[in-house]
Amino acid sequence: MRGTNVPLILVTNDDGVRSPGLCALADALREVGEVLIVAPDREQSAASHALTLQRPLRLEQVAPGTWAVDGTPSDAVYLGINAVLKGRRPDLIASGINLGANLGDDITYSGTVAAAMEGTLLGAPAFAISMAARRDFHFETACGFAARLARSILAHGLPKMALLNVNVPNVPPSPEVPYRVTFQGKRRYTDAVIDRTDPRGRTYYWIGGDELGFDAVEGSDAVTVLRDRMISVTPVHLDLTHVRLLDQIAAWSI
Ligand code: MN
């Protein structure tokens, strides 16, 4: 879509500019607006909200309307707005489709969600979208919902400091997959540490455990996607203050 009243949508991710999830999301959102892709040049999963401040960054145009950044998802959004768009705010930022869920605690590690956070901080409404699967992705389910959600956000707007974190079960789009507005739940992982010895006799480690399950809290993101096989839409606030603890901590007289 092109024209002066056509919304501009910045699409990014944390799986890298060649991810099939990114391509699927961009294609879906071309039905809604003009799409600009600015994404990391390689996988940056679990990069969280990191910015690259200790070395220079390079932007490379890899296709029409598509730019790769040799940095993090937040670098990509920052450069997308401040370099590619020369400070113009896009009407919407969409991050994903991530190849894996971002439920519960995952939000604090997720580069996918952090890219949406960076967009929010830079003044553009944003959503992150992830698929709860590791292979054989039904992207069409997430794509259909992403286009509907994009239209809704463009129509309603989002408050400052707020974004939407969307997770989609890996099921076919027909019959239509229902959605639920949810709160952040709790996933469980093993605290695995695998140690090995390198060819020079030194120990090295792989961290990051396997998924054990999730807490069965009704209305949470994890229950909605992993048990009920529904789409989860979680409003996320960037103000991390624990409001209910303010008085309690003040009473400590530290
Ligand atoms: Mn990822």
Q: Does the pLDDT value for residue 250 go beyond 70? A: yes
Domain spanning 8-185+215-250: which CATH class is it, in words? alpha beta
Instruction: State how far the Cα of 118 lies from the Cα of 25, in Å rounded to an integer.
Output: 19
Q: Does the pLDDT value for residue 208 go beyond 90? A: no
62 Cα to the center of ligand 1, angstroms: 20
Side-chain-side CA neighbours of 86 within 13 Å: the count stands at 0
Mean pLDDT of 90-111: 97
86 Cα to the center of ligand 1, angstroms: 27
Q: What is the pLDDT of residues 178-192, one digit of tens each?
A: 999 999 999 999 888
Domain-by-domain residue ranges, the chain?
Answer: 8-185+215-250
Are the CB atoms for 42 and 72 separated by under 8 Å? no
Residue 129: name the closest of 183, 93, 90, 160 by CA.
93
Q: What is the pLDDT of residues 222-241, one digit of tens each?
A: 999 999 999 999 999 999 99
Q: Does the pLDDT value for residue 2 go beyond 60? A: no
pTM: 0.95
Are the CB atoms for 203 and 196 separated by under 8 Å? yes
Which residues surround the ion ligand 1 when the cut-off is CB under 5 Å? Answer: 14-15, 45, 98
pLDDT of residue 3: 55
- The continuous run of DSSP H or E covering 126 comes out as strand 126-132
Q: Is 219 left (phi over 0), alpha (psi -120 to 50) or beta?
A: left
pLDDT of residue 1: 56
* C-alpha dihedral sign at 13, 18, 19, 21: positive
Tokens of 159: 């408050």
112 Cα to the center of ligand 1, angstroms: 6
Residue 160: name the closest of 44, 238, 81 by CA.
238
Q: Does the pLDDT value for residue 174 go beyond 70? A: yes
pLDDT of residue 5: 87
Share of the chain above pLDDT 90, in %: 94
